[in-house]
Structure 1
């Protein structure tokens, strides 16, 4: 199915009469009261998060408080998803994150989102307004028995939304299972509209309504007055910025490398504690890499924004090296893929790191890169393509 751009998506909305039934969900960013005379609408198409063999989260945003749900199914849209909390069906919110559960592994599903505007919410007097429905999209659940996995990795977009289409166009028709956004998608976070305009809308226009993406926090995602709210707009296992999962022959490890300067740097205003956060992750990782469910994975691959080597001697790099590198060595990590430096490079194993360190490029034209990743039972290969189409790095296990 071809993906539809945000403008076309909003233009194709239709109304739907719904009788009875209430069924939505919202995330921790609950009611954001809206005072608008604009027609009731979706602010962005839906986007997929935290996809597994049996479930997926679908997120979307409306411009007014509403009651929202999802209709889905393998062939017909005959199933309905909603969310409950403390006896309530979630409603009167704008930001929605609805989880589809009990799905079949390796199966194609169709879905659409539906929202019913709430125009009055007084005690014993609930009044609905217009109901809108999206186009129909498709997605595939993770295949638990897949022998291979492919993904695309982007980093350091830095509030340049046009870079998503520029870089993804380099992929041509090569298939992929998901996209990893490996940090610094923004310079800093100001508000919800920035997230929509600079990340969600460009990604949904290209792929994100039908293929999931992983949001990996970089040091610039820790900055700005809205930085503490961005987790509400994405979904992670256990709702932590660090996690691991199995897909294909790969045990994927996602780490949050935190800020790049000391915690007591004056610009942070005494309200960060990333040293402890990195140490907490290192302890978690030492346990995570021992779990039996990953023992049959052929490869262990780390995604983290700040590389532990080849990134100068700033505190973020040296502390990542101090806390993570011993764990990487202990469990024979096969590869680390990072960004941050704005200098693309492929660094083979050496005496300091017995694993390759792959670093994607920067935000400026001429240094931007797309990383293509593919792994099967025979090989693991990464290819780095610069924004002019030239391959500037390759590594194969």
Structure 2
């Protein structure tokens, strides 16, 4: 979802299907959009990605998906089966003029169903406009179907049919046979696993920290090059911090999985590469995870100039949901436990 009047609707079907997204400002007057690739509707896969453009920022839209099974798809003959139609769902395109939002941020759930259920229940009580999954929320994907299954666990539990979900990779989602394919199953504005976006006049910068051990570690068998990825992001950060969008933002939030400050690992390449840039950056808060233990690192002279919040882990007695709320010029972060109790409240 973006403020330029465009939204991507992603969904899966069990069989191969021809499908479309019907959408409009009400359910009686709608238009239809399909996924085309070089003039052909994309019917070769169960993954579907339909981009809706020309939308009005701030406007609420209704949408639903129609899918009809293709039972036979030959060069000169095609047969079709049953059609399925989803219920109506809604979304609102964020407007540059609207400062207010509520976001839920979770991390390190490691695909434990009980933790996902508890975290979603706590988060949805606050009716977030969007949800950020800040790494290690899914399992280490051995197959494409496992990756699809894990994403559906998150999407269904957190109601992503009616609000955007932003997925940031942790080090565990990088592991196993299908890990390099998993990013293709979620949408990103620039096709990368890191980037920046605005919600109202709040600027969000998201980073991909890569693995928590050197690329030369034997278990990677020479297949990793996260040193290069981190260098790419060093260049991206330098450009982003000097960009017009970043400088004119009313508030700025940095989100990534492994902490730059507050990391308990002995291997800390993100600190080495990014801290020299971030120490001068005017972020209001930095949201992280990875350590499986809640921690708040208050601003420290010569180190982090903004508060760093480290989310908890997958065990219910230590799991956390962060609720980031903007109301006018005020922004607050509330950290909640799996039972809904308040662990910390920070005025930003």
Same fold (TM over 0.5): yes
C-alpha distance in structure 2 between counterparts of 1:120 and 1:168, whole Å: 40
C-alpha distance in structure 1 between counterparts of 2:154 and 2:133, whole Å: 13
- 1:340 counterpart (290, 296, 304): 290
Q: Is the 8 A contact 1:156 1:340 kept in 2?
A: yes
SS across alignment from 1:68: strand
C-alpha distance in structure 2 between counterparts of 1:214 and 1:202, whole Å: 11
Query: Does residue 1:238 correspond to 2:190, yes or no?
Result: yes
State the 1:325 CA deviation: 1.3
* Deviations 1:312-335 (CA, angstroms, capped at 9, x unpaired): 2432xx211111112212332222
Q: State the partner residue of 2:121.
A: 169
Q: Is the 8 A contact 1:53 1:144 kept in 2?
A: no
SS across alignment from 1:271: coil
Q: Residues 313, 160 of structure 1: CA spacing in aligned structure 2 closer, same or farther, 3 A cutoff?
A: closer
* Deviations 1:142-195 (CA, angstroms, capped at 9, x unpaired): 122112222000000102133222123224642321000000012311223333
Q: State the partner residue of 1:326.
A: 276
C-alpha distance in structure 2 between counterparts of 1:61 and 1:203, whole Å: 12
- 1:101 counterpart (53, 63, 84): 53
State the 1:248 CA deviation: 2.6
C-alpha distance in structure 1 between counterparts of 2:155 and 2:321, whole Å: 15
C-alpha distance in structure 2 between counterparts of 1:377 and 1:324, whole Å: 31
C-alpha distance in structure 2 between counterparts of 1:353 and 1:304, whole Å: 15
Q: State the partner residue of 1:283.
A: 235
Deviation larger for 359-368 or 203-212: 203-212
C-alpha distance in structure 1 between counterparts of 2:121 and 2:290, whole Å: 22
Q: Is the 8 A contact 1:219 1:260 kept in 2?
A: yes
Q: Residues 376, 297 of structure 1: CA spacing in aligned structure 2 closer, same or farther, 3 A cutoff?
A: farther
State the 1:205 CA deviation: 4.5
State the 1:260 CA deviation: 0.3
Query: Does residue 1:271 correspond to 2:245, yes or no?
Result: no
Q: State the partner residue of 1:213.
A: 165
Q: State the partner residue of 2:250.
A: 298
C-alpha distance in structure 1 between counterparts of 2:29 and 2:113, whole Å: 33
Give the TM-score of the pair, scaled to structure 1: 0.83
SS across alignment from 2:190: helix
Query: Does residue 1:56 correspond to 2:3, yes or no?
Result: no
C-alpha distance in structure 2 between counterparts of 1:115 and 1:78, whole Å: 16
C-alpha distance in structure 1 between counterparts of 2:139 and 2:74, whole Å: 41
- 1:261 counterpart (213, 216, 229): 213
- 1:87 counterpart (10, 28, 39): 39
Query: Does residue 1:135 correspond to 2:87, yes or no?
Result: yes
Q: Residues 358, 338 of structure 1: CA spacing in aligned structure 2 closer, same or farther, 3 A cutoff?
A: same
SS across alignment from 2:279: helix
CA RMSD of aligned residues (A): 1.6
Q: State the partner residue of 1:349.
A: 299
Query: Does residue 1:379 correspond to 2:339, yes or no?
Result: no
Q: Is the 8 A contact 1:67 1:93 kept in 2?
A: no
C-alpha distance in structure 1 between counterparts of 2:2 and 2:87, whole Å: 20
C-alpha distance in structure 2 between counterparts of 1:391 and 1:340, whole Å: 21
Query: Does residue 1:310 correspond to 2:310, yes or no?
Result: no
SS across alignment from 1:381: strand
- 2:310 counterpart (359, 370, 379): 359
Q: State the partner residue of 1:188.
A: 140
Deviation larger for 271-280 or 120-129: 120-129
* Deviations 1:194-227 (CA, angstroms, capped at 9, x unpaired): 3344331453244110001100000011001010
C-alpha distance in structure 1 between counterparts of 2:227 and 2:261, whole Å: 17
C-alpha distance in structure 1 between counterparts of 2:29 and 2:89, whole Å: 11
Ranges in structure 2 where 5+ consecutive residues have no aligned partner:
none
Q: Is the 8 A contact 2:71 2:80 kept in 1?
A: yes
C-alpha distance in structure 1 between counterparts of 2:258 and 2:339, whole Å: 25
Q: Is the 8 A contact 1:216 1:254 kept in 2?
A: yes
Q: Hey, which bits of structure 1, 4+ residues long, moved more than 6 A?
A: none
Query: Does residue 1:160 correspond to 2:115, yes or no?
Result: no
C-alpha distance in structure 2 between counterparts of 1:286 and 1:337, whole Å: 19
Deviation larger for 75-84 or 171-180: 171-180
